[in-house]
Amino acid sequence: MSKIDFPLGALPIANDTGKTINFSASGGHSIYCDKNCRMYDSGCYAVNSEKRQGNLRKSGQRRELSPVQVCNSARLQFRNLRNCWARLSSRGSVPKVSQARKIRGFVDSFAAMISEIVESGSKIHFPVESSSKRKFYQAICDSVKPGAVVVRESVQSLRACLKSTAPRAFVVGDSYDGLGIAGRLKEAHKLARKIRAGGETAIVCPKIKPRGYSGTVAKCGDCTACADGRVLVVLYAKH
């Protein structure tokens, strides 16, 4: 029997059912992240937290060398869990399609992990940064149980957000737009209205709030939009 090489991580942005499964370090420090991601390196929140905590980067890099063991460890741990919020890739990303096909046993172990998580009654938030990854991993998830998992593409431009019909997420604004989080939230809500007017479902992530906000903040797991295939577009204000 496989052993637990890689314990599941906690997820501060989620309620207490949150568990993370990560396959790599982020941005310029991972061979898995697609370089066309607009957050690659400097804009990526995970890169910034890894800069502050060197152990996170090292742990990601260890995982990157052992993606099959990451899947096997997660599968075994989910055997004893129920009704979690399972977040893939809160740091780094999953292997690119060409890499995933080459890593011996990866596709099967990934499918077995997804199967165990679905069986546990957990919801899966699975973001990827390219269309090729979305199609590839969606097909694996659908081979386990059609419709049980939505692989959500983080689209890289407003144009792609408006043009795509796939389940997707888009970050509204950037660090240099001078809008601040409050201004970006307004823009995100404006964009959500426009998308809804075109007949698609769109929501603005409720856990992102302007600086100084003192009310209750939503947590993933209570909000399940990202894991819900009926929600086609999730918008995040850059924060």
155 binds ligand SF4 (CB under 6 A): no
* Minimum CB distance to ligand SF4 smaller for 99 or for 201: 201
Mention every residue, 6+ apart, whose C-beta is less than 8 A from residue 237.
Answer: 171, 172, 173, 181, 184, 185, 187, 188, 204, 205, 208
Q: Which of 51, 62, 207, 239 binds ligand SF4 (CB under 6 A)?
A: 207
94 binds ligand SF4 (CB under 6 A): no
β partners of residue 106: none
β partners of residue 154: 169
225 binds ligand SF4 (CB under 6 A): yes
- Cβ atoms within 10 Å, residue 217: 11
* Minimum distance, C-beta of residue 17 to ligand SF4, in the bound complex (Å): 12
* Minimum distance, C-beta of residue 139 to ligand SF4, in the bound complex (Å): 23
Q: Which stretch binds ligand SF4 (CB under 6 A): 20-28, 46-54, 176-184, 205-213?
A: 205-213
Q: Which stretch binds ligand SF4 (CB under 6 A): 102-110, 141-149, 182-190, 199-207?
A: 199-207
Q: Which of 86, 150, 195, 220 binds ligand SF4 (CB under 6 A)?
A: 220
Give residue for tokens 């937290």: 49
Token pair of 64, please?
């990157």
**Helix (H) / strand (E) containing 233:** strand 233-237
| Separation CA 6–CA 17 (nearest Å) | 18
* Minimum CB distance to ligand SF4 smaller for 125 or for 133: 125
| Separation CA 21–CA 200 (nearest Å) | 30
68 binds ligand SF4 (CB under 6 A): no
* Minimum distance, C-beta of residue 206 to ligand SF4, in the bound complex (Å): 6
* Minimum CB distance to ligand SF4 smaller for 54 or for 215: 215
195 binds ligand SF4 (CB under 6 A): no
Work out the end-to-end distance of the chain between its first and last CA atoms, rounded to an integer number of angstroms: 43
Query: CA angle, 155 as apex, 20 and 100 as ends, to 5°?
Result: 55
* Minimum distance, C-beta of residue 31 to ligand SF4, in the bound complex (Å): 26
Give residue for tokens 């690659």: 40
Q: How far is CA 116 from the centre of its chain?
A: 18
Contacting residues toward ligand SF4, per CB under 6 A: 205-207, 218, 220, 223-226, 234
